[in-house]
Structure 1
């Protein structure tokens, strides 16, 4: 029987893990190994993927991949019981819980002029970025979704100027499965950090310690930070820190990063082990009395064989040996073994497989998990099922239920858009518009009373205030939208959306994980594109990057709001929803086309951890809103400000630099008039609209500021456009080339060729889509 057929609510024991390559290794690294117990939790609303529970955490995978995992001993699931060992309270901070490890000798510290560099490493979604913020005083974005950190970030530890800590993307093991995990492995192996701060989710310690064991093999000074200890205590559990230190041979410090508990003690230990270069005491994790003798002999035989090669390649020999034993081709290539050595290596591993009764990768994973189980049995006092997990199960009955998941998702997103565009965001925007109007009138009166030159007065009022002010009024709408999106991410709901939508997205050739970059793209295309790094497949990553610009980013909101207020004042929410779903529909059509042409094949496996729901952190949400508001204001008073002045100048003067009475005689009219005929079939061939669209390449908000400068009043715009041509223009703005920053992000991720495809291709697609709307609208008008 395979895992695919295990009934919901039943438990089984893994017999074997089939398949090959990176996916099989990923399963093994996540704890799906022979003799492991698995519980079938539920199926997604569409029947696929499934959610299983292993080693106290939930994992998702598709039925096709579950069919490769053979199981036996199907039985009723066992309830999580609180252990009877006495609970030892763990004080925070600084009472020496981690102090027992330090060696007495403190000879030969590193020179004072050597910078103490630290790698902050851990599993995805274990609190690395929160800890990084506490260590450095930074305000990096954190979220309750695997893969929030998609690039390395650096900062100085507070109070220690001669330090540098690097927050690395989450990684489950030193066998990278996705492109952002490669960043972490490359840093740890080649950047020579003076110390490693390994952060571990104490509520999920079995899986987290798998990476810890591999990091210890690197032979770099290291401390272990047990995060979320507050949750362990609140649920009646504990961890015997001193006992765990003895078994691991590294300092272990209990912390709660979100509550700033234990951070000072962690810093003290980290700085100490780095300064005195105190490396882990233990590297051998084999249990020779429990089928581990074969693995032990294998590893030591490999170490003897490759010692000189490992030293030359600057790779720790124990780490290299264990990676070779599990079949890591990247390490094999770097060691540059000759053919005789490769044959000897293969013989050693084959002998281990024969004695152990498991293949090489499974044998190494089994060795590590056996050691972890032994450590946890003696040091971890497990609580009864946590209240966070109980709460998550109850919420998931609705949000991932068979009949309620899709309606709940549609309802939540509809509520977000309604509150943003019709209630909160719209109300705040109206208030800000009133203040901007008062400010404009006051400045105009001041300039008039001061008899300021008409040209200067026109620059200030018609240029700066009208242009920048028209964009600023949409700031509340953008902030409101980001507020709701950050709440959804912080709560853990985004991961459920990926789980629910996977089967649907697979029909267009994508994985459920692709929906997260796309949802981020509704806020801003640039981080959406960057978030695609969490996808393990190059094919999926490219498709997701090319589709994300079709999601309607918040920078387009001022355009939608401007035209909706002018042409469709009574149908604002309806028009907005049509535009947002129009972008999604176009993305679906493009995905289907790409799947048949450029990106043939199937989406990558959907293997992802589902975190518990958590209350969104108001500090984190507030910080994110401030960052987005600050970014918007910086653009408003830099790019948009400069573009506004430039547009004003070009439409005020002619080629002889004389002030024109009619802007049709201006420099701008002469230049924009060349491309205006391209848009005439679409219903907006006016040179002023062409100019606004060109300015939108710099920043989409500039479209509104440019129109405000060139047309002056909405009434003038109404004389040029009809409702049909206005809708055609809205569709063009929805789909045409994203801003320069987004194109630059595509270039950074995929190269110049794909950046050109996005820039030029979306213009062509937008033109034909707008032309189609114009034709349909005209026909409906005649009917």
Structure 2
């Protein structure tokens, strides 16, 4: 959003976007910054921070998107990060994003931010919901009751009010912020004044003395640790409850004076939630929705993939002709065409299926439905010894396991975080989808979508059962219920969805250009070189030698082929590599095309005529349950801080994958005679 294109030096302003979860903060952040984003880690912690830039008038503005919080009292890493950002001296102003339809909940954080003494602009988001409910806000009285701070109505989804918001930020930075004083009872106010004076004496350059004085009175451990001063003669106990009550009393007063016709129109959200969060029907409805998502992933994705198949055939054929005309040696030609183009290109043909999956997940998330899924699963999570919040990382696991593991930081205890890290990899990430698509199309052509969907259900069931067994072995207790904000249902924002889907596809393409590219080269070498050098028959290669060592182990699970063993080993680098390995191992340039699928099946039956749907299903189960990709393993080690825990987890997953696949294969073999 460039407002001024002249060449004069612009002022640099750092602005933090802070607000409750589900208040539309990230949507507003994306609307202000567009694609000008930068991702890094917060200083001292491994939580990702997202920065974006925009310009207005003569200022270059750096916006920092922070994790959503309800207050500046810290329990989780994300809450600490947001508070650290709010107090950072490098932050010139704060945009406090508020859900205008839920002021009672949002204003508590606002009052805490005002006590920091920094310039604050209140961005009233979701004004369209206020209008739909028939409510009205007194936009003159509200800023008066909040210390005359700028209050700007915005709609992040419709991109309205953004210029006014930026104008308010710049000019409020120039004017500065007068101290906001919320009247507490005389006893508390007297103690705050004394502690504020002590803070100023001990830390004369400190910019938020009153806020720190209040936190000292609340017996805040972090503040006491960061600013140790003797308060024994002032603070005789924690006054946190009284301070909280004072804030909520004032919030009630504010809402009473500025909000009108609150109950004029019943919220449609409540009516929808009677069904979607129903204690009996909530989970079946979720499963039906996900089943429909996979129906779309297969049907629409398969329609779109035709263009990718034609493109890959053209690239493969053109490369072969070009290399032939350049008289390139046979081994290099094979590496380029049979190794790299076949391996990487085979993965790229799954882009339509991946696109449909991410698009559906983005719509479900942006509409507010995914929070309901966590809510309806809360009772199940508690019964198996998991925190109710554990299902939030598990839902993220549908996209990618790495950020899902990182999301476990939101849990309060190390025990809950490790238990969640143990089960989250069982959720089917997008990297496994190409494996499901390929094997389902090969052996379950009439029920491909349902077969792939069963893998997602199997992953969730396995995660829940694994948590239950671990809880019984550790003699754990049922965890407390989940406290989660259920946002208003809203029409998904096209811009937000576009950014989400593009970032996911970009990650997928980046992986294809790096991890899968390297893995394809490695696979080609291990299949084309043996003890005697270059080999004509892959059965004489190093890959075949390694695969045959694992055949006796995998045979009880119906996977007794050295080619499958090599594909599973390659999948440790990235699960998509299992598909590219199939392309290289069975000599098929385009594994995702109808002819490619038929060719792989034919080649498999030449090696093992008995390999059928049951074997393929067990292979999908093994890919679902065995050790996750290298990036996930590295993340688990980083988040847990323990190689011992990581090693035990890897062994557990491999043993579980083998055991489940073996039981299913042996039982299925008995039933089918």
Question: Distance in 2 between the 1:409 and 1:699 partners?
Answer: 28
* Inter-CA distance 770–122: structure 2 relative to 1 (3 Å threshold): same
Once the two structures are superposed, residues 4-63 of structure 1 have per-residue CA deviations (whole angstroms, 9 ceiling, x without a partner) of xxxxxxxxxxxxxxxxxxxxxxxxxxxxxxxxxxxxxxxxxxxxxxxxxxxxxxxxxxxx
Cα offset for 1:693?
Answer: 1.6
Question: Distance in 1 between the 2:473 and 2:623 partners?
Answer: 26
> Which residues in structure 2 correspond to 1:502-581 (within 5 Å)?
502-581=378-457
SS in 2 for 1:719: helix
Per the alignment, residue 763 of structure 1 pairs with: 654
Per the alignment, residue 221 of structure 2 pairs with: 329
> Which residues in structure 2 correspond to 1:390-539 (within 5 Å)?
390-401=267-278, 403-421=280-298, 423-429=299-305, 432-437=308-313, 439-441=315-317, 443-444=319-320, 453-539=329-415
Per the alignment, residue 296 of structure 1 pairs with: 189
* Inter-CA distance 140–164: structure 2 relative to 1 (3 Å threshold): closer
Per the alignment, residue 247 of structure 2 pairs with: 368
Question: Distance in 2 between the 1:590 and 1:309 partners?
Answer: 53
Per the alignment, residue 90 of structure 1 pairs with: none
> Which residues in structure 2 correspond to 1:169-184 (within 5 Å)?
169-184=67-82
> Which residues in structure 2 correspond to 1:671-686 (within 5 Å)?
671-686=546-561
Question: Distance in 1 between the 2:199 and 2:517 partners?
Answer: 62
Of residues 563, 568, 572 in structure 2, which corresponds to 1:688?
A: 563
What stretches of structure 2 of length at least 5 have no aligned partner?
Answer: 4-8, 39-45, 588-598
Cα offset for 1:304?
Answer: 4.1
Question: Distance in 2 between the 1:195 and 1:665 partners?
Answer: 67
Question: Distance in 1 between the 2:219 and 2:639 partners?
Answer: 29
Cα offset for 1:184?
Answer: 0.6
Cα offset for 1:707?
Answer: 1.9
TM-score with structure 2 setting the length = 0.87
Question: Distance in 1 between the 2:125 and 2:371 partners?
Answer: 21
Question: Distance in 2 between the 1:230 and 1:577 partners?
Answer: 37
Of residues 155, 159, 163 in structure 2, which corresponds to 1:260?
A: 159
* Inter-CA distance 184–565: structure 2 relative to 1 (3 Å threshold): same
* Inter-CA distance 470–333: structure 2 relative to 1 (3 Å threshold): closer
Per the alignment, residue 622 of structure 2 pairs with: 732
Question: Distance in 2 between the 1:344 and 1:451 partners?
Answer: 88
Contact 1:310 1:320 in 2 (8 A): no
Question: Distance in 2 between the 1:254 and 1:400 partners?
Answer: 31
Query: Is 1:196 paired with 2:86?
Result: no
Contact 1:513 1:535 in 2 (8 A): yes
Per the alignment, residue 68 of structure 1 pairs with: none
Question: Distance in 2 between the 1:316 and 1:204 partners?
Answer: 28
* Inter-CA distance 580–372: structure 2 relative to 1 (3 Å threshold): closer
SS in 2 for 1:363: helix
Per the alignment, residue 592 of structure 2 pairs with: none
Question: Distance in 1 between the 2:571 and 2:73 partners?
Answer: 43
Once the two structures are superposed, residues 518-546 of structure 1 have per-residue CA deviations (whole angstroms, 9 ceiling, x without a partner) of 12212221232233333344433332222
Of residues 747, 753, 757 in structure 1, which corresponds to 2:637?
A: 747
Of residues 3, 17, 20 in structure 2, which corresponds to 1:120?
A: 17
Once the two structures are superposed, residues 216-238 of structure 1 have per-residue CA deviations (whole angstroms, 9 ceiling, x without a partner) of 22122222222233443555544
Query: Is 1:717 paired with 2:604?
Result: yes
SS in 2 for 1:487: helix
Cα offset for 1:664?
Answer: 2.5
Of residues 183, 207, 212 in structure 2, which corresponds to 1:320?
A: 212
> Which residues in structure 2 correspond to 1:48-87 (within 5 Å)?
none
Cα offset for 1:396?
Answer: 1.9
Contact 1:151 1:169 in 2 (8 A): no
What stretches of structure 1 of length at least 5 have no aligned partner?
Answer: 1-93, 95-111, 142-148, 350-358
* Inter-CA distance 544–371: structure 2 relative to 1 (3 Å threshold): same
Contact 2:18 2:25 in 1 (8 A): yes
Per the alignment, residue 32 of structure 2 pairs with: 135
SS in 2 for 1:257: coil
Question: Distance in 1 between the 2:315 and 2:200 partners?
Answer: 74
Contact 2:117 2:207 in 1 (8 A): no
Cα offset for 1:409?
Answer: 2.1
SS in 2 for 1:608: coil
SS in 2 for 1:337: coil
Per the alignment, residue 59 of structure 1 pairs with: none
* Inter-CA distance 257–581: structure 2 relative to 1 (3 Å threshold): closer
Cα offset for 1:474?
Answer: 1.9
Cα offset for 1:702?
Answer: 0.6
Q: Give the count of matched residue pairs.
A: 641
Question: Distance in 1 between the 2:625 and 2:284 partners?
Answer: 27
Once the two structures are superposed, residues 178-213 of structure 1 have per-residue CA deviations (whole angstroms, 9 ceiling, x without a partner) of 331121112223554222222222222232221122
Question: Distance in 1 between the 2:573 and 2:59 partners?
Answer: 39
Once the two structures are superposed, residues 362-404 of structure 1 have per-residue CA deviations (whole angstroms, 9 ceiling, x without a partner) of 31112212333333444x24244476x6221222232223554
Question: Distance in 2 between the 1:664 and 1:386 partners?
Answer: 75
Contact 2:54 2:62 in 1 (8 A): yes
* Inter-CA distance 580–386: structure 2 relative to 1 (3 Å threshold): farther
Of residues 663, 667, 671 in structure 2, which corresponds to 1:772?
A: 663
Contact 2:278 2:376 in 1 (8 A): no
Of residues 441, 462, 469 in structure 2, which corresponds to 1:586?
A: 462
Per the alignment, residue 581 of structure 2 pairs with: 706
Contact 1:295 1:367 in 2 (8 A): no
Contact 1:216 1:283 in 2 (8 A): yes
Once the two structures are superposed, residues 241-279 of structure 1 have per-residue CA deviations (whole angstroms, 9 ceiling, x without a partner) of 4443333142333322222222222222322333x4712
SS in 1 for 2:564: helix
Q: Decide which moves more: 242-251 or 444-453.
A: 444-453
SS in 2 for 1:119: strand
Q: Decide which moves more: 702-711 or 618-627.
A: 618-627
> Which residues in structure 2 correspond to 1:306-317 (within 5 Å)?
306-309=199-202, 311=204, 314=206, 316-317=208-209
Per the alignment, residue 593 of structure 2 pairs with: none
Per the alignment, residue 637 of structure 1 pairs with: 513
Once the two structures are superposed, residues 321-380 of structure 1 have per-residue CA deviations (whole angstroms, 9 ceiling, x without a partner) of 222333323323333234xx414420xx5xxxxxxxxx83231112212333333444x2
Query: Is 1:271 paired with 2:205?
Result: no
Question: Distance in 1 between the 2:330 and 2:160 partners?
Answer: 62
Question: Distance in 2 between the 1:626 and 1:599 partners?
Answer: 44
> Which residues in structure 2 correspond to 1:80-99 (within 5 Å)?
none
Once the two structures are superposed, residues 121-163 of structure 1 have per-residue CA deviations (whole angstroms, 9 ceiling, x without a partner) of 111111221222233233779xxxxxxx974312223346754
TM-score with structure 1 setting the length = 0.75
Once the two structures are superposed, residues 48-83 of structure 1 have per-residue CA deviations (whole angstroms, 9 ceiling, x without a partner) of xxxxxxxxxxxxxxxxxxxxxxxxxxxxxxxxxxxx
Cα offset for 1:447?
Answer: 5.6
SS in 2 for 1:166: strand
